[in-house]
């Protein structure tokens, strides 16, 4: 029986990709919260799993005792920045306290614990950010993640903090990711305002998941050897190799979709403070939070270039044959009149 890997937030964008990829080497056990058991069964198949409120310590403790994992990847979080700003207590319970509690439980069991943090612990004025740069959060979400990082390492020194960049890809059935909404809006012909000065180092959720599994499983070696996690110390950045503004990401997406670049409308992060946006944000947004991930690259994390990740994410069936070379050349391929017989 392969070792058990507990993945919290397994119905989320990242957790669902980890769960799928982990099946190769682990016995993955996923948890979720608002998703119904029926939906989860449909989504997870027969992988055992459980509905849980990780903000409840006794539930969390009982779940860990029941599952007896060999390692834990903690992705469950409230990731909506504006929700966290409006309901800071909810964010505090899950994004901070639940993470510390889970880390402490893993410390008691002496098993690997990976915490998925974020590039949004930085304010955007000092990019590219390396692991040792001090966090400078500018919104509630970033503040609670930064506090969690610190507290987790205080309760369990062997925990690993993996800071992730903007993730692109599609979430599970009941959750629409940023990228899904972007592509859906473009395909409906809608204009989307995108920050031209919000620079990130995006990777697909699948690439991030494989990086996390490399850390959890083997310390970047081929075999599952959870003791190897010791090679990864404290904090590790899992950013992509391309520094890209969110607006540029939109343009690249439109080019692959074969749609007009006019659908991406550049705005500035500063506009969100100056009340220039139609739908103002509650939480402050950072500008350039590009991650310097050279430490992870040295260990073997190898994200493909962003354009090829985007190509992979956008099905050919969604692409408009707007470029001349994409339109089938009917003259050079005579139609066979018997084809339909």
Could you give the string, one character per residue 82-101, with x where binding to ligand NAP holds by CB under 6 A and - elsewhere? ------------x-------
Judged by CB under 6 A, which stretch of 165-173, 238-246, 285-293, 299-307 contacts ligand NAP?
165-173
User: Residue 82: in which H helix or E strand, if any?
Assistant: helix 81-86
Residue with smaller CB distance to ligand NAP, 87 or 258: 87
Judged by CB under 6 A, which stretch of 46-54, 189-197, 244-252, 269-277 contacts ligand NAP?
46-54
What is the size of the binding site for ligand NAP (CB under 6 A)?
Answer: 28
Helices marked H in 160-293: 178-187, 205-218, 246-257, 269-273
* Residues 295 and 237 sit within 8 Å (Cβ to Cβ): yes
How many CB atoms are located within 10 Å of the residue 187 CB?
Answer: 15
Residue with smaller CB distance to ligand NAP, 198 or 259: 198
Could you give the string, one character per residue 239-278, with x where binding to ligand NAP holds by CB under 6 A and - elsewhere? ----------------------------------------
Judged by CB under 6 A, which stretch of 8-16, 180-188, 209-217, 323-331 contacts ligand NAP?
8-16
User: In the bound complex, what is the minimum distance in angstroms from residue 140's beta carbon to ligand NAP?
Assistant: 13
User: In the bound complex, what is the minimum distance in angstroms from residue 18's beta carbon to ligand NAP?
Assistant: 9
Residue with smaller CB distance to ligand NAP, 259 or 283: 283
Interatomic CA distance for residues 87 and 192, integer angstroms: 27
User: In the bound complex, what is the minimum distance in angstroms from residue 152's beta carbon to ligand NAP?
Assistant: 12
- Strand partners of residue 272: none
Interatomic CA distance for residues 2 and 22, integer angstroms: 11
Judged by CB under 6 A, which stretch of 32-40, 228-236, 260-268, 333-341 contacts ligand NAP?
32-40
Q: What are phi and psi of 76, to 5 degrees?
A: -60, 135
Measured from each CB, the residue nearest to ligand NAP is: 12
Pick the binder of ligand NAP from 175, 187, 241, 295 (CB under 6 A): 175
Pick the binder of ligand NAP from 166, 249, 289, 291 (CB under 6 A): 166
**Backbone CA torsion sign across 222, 225, 226, 228:** negative
Rule CB under 6 A: say whether 11 interacts with ligand NAP: yes
* Residues 213 and 21 sit within 8 Å (Cβ to Cβ): yes
Burial label for 181, CB within 10 Å (0-12, 13-18, 19+), is exposed
* Residues 268 and 277 sit within 8 Å (Cβ to Cβ): no
Interatomic CA distance for residues 272 and 178, integer angstroms: 18
CA 248 to the chain's CA centroid: 19
Place of tokens 């007009």: 260
Judged by CB under 6 A, which stretch of 162-170, 255-263, 283-291, 327-335 contacts ligand NAP?
162-170
Pick the binder of ligand NAP from 9, 69, 137, 239 (CB under 6 A): 9
User: Residue 194: in which H helix or E strand, if any?
Assistant: strand 192-195
Rule CB under 6 A: say whether 15 interacts with ligand NAP: yes
Rule CB under 6 A: say whether 61 interacts with ligand NAP: no
Residue with smaller CB distance to ligand NAP, 14 or 254: 14
Rule CB under 6 A: say whether 32 interacts with ligand NAP: yes
Place of tokens 């190799």: 241
Structure tokens at 117: 């943090």
* Residues 119 and 129 sit within 8 Å (Cβ to Cβ): yes
Structure tokens at 59: 């539930």
Binding site residues, ligand NAP, CB under 6 A: 9-15, 32-35, 52-55, 75-79, 94, 116, 118, 164, 166-167, 171, 175
């Amino acid at each position: 029986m392969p070792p058990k890997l507990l993945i919290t937030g397994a119905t989320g964008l990242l957790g669902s990709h980890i769960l799928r990829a982990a099946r190769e080497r682990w016995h993955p056990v996923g948890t979720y919260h608002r998703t119904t058991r029926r939906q989860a069964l449909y989504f997870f198949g027969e992988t055992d799993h459980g509905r849980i409120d990780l903000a409840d310590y006794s539930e969390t403790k009982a779940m860990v005792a029941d599952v007896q994992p060999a390692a834990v990847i903690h992705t469950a979080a409230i990731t909506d920045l504006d929700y966290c700003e409006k309901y800071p207590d909810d964010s505090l319970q899950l994004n901070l306290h639940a993470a510390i509690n889970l880390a402490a439980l893993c410390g008691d069991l002496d098993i690997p614990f990976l915490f998925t943090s974020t590039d949004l612990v930085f304010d955007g004025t000092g990019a590219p950010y390396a692991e040792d740069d001090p966090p400078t959060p500018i919104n509630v979400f970033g503040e609670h993640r930064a506090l969690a990082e610190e507290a987790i390492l205080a309760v369990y020194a062997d925990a690993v903090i993996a800071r992730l960049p903007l993730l692109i890809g599609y979430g599970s059935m009941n959750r629409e990711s940023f990228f899904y909404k972007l592509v859906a809006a473009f395909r409906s012909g809608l204009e989307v305002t995108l920050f031209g000065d919000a620079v990130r180092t995006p990777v697909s959720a699948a690439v991030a998941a494989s990086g996390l599994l490399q850390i959890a499983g083997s310390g970047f070696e081929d075999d599952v050897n959870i003791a190897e996690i010791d090679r990864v110390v404290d904090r590790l950045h899992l950013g992509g190799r391309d520094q890209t503004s969110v607006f540029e990401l939109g343009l690249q997406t439109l080019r692959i979709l074969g749609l007009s670049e006019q659908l991406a409308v550049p705005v500035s992060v500063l506009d969100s403070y100056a009340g220039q946006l139609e739908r103002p944000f509650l939480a402050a947004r950072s500008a350039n939070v590009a991650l310097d991930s050279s430490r992870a690259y040295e260990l073997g994390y190898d994200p493909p270039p962003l354009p090829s990740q985007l190509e992979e994410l956008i099905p050919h069936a969604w692409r408009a044959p707007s470029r001349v070379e994409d339109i089938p050349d009917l003259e050079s391929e005579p139609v066979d009149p018997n084809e339909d017989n």
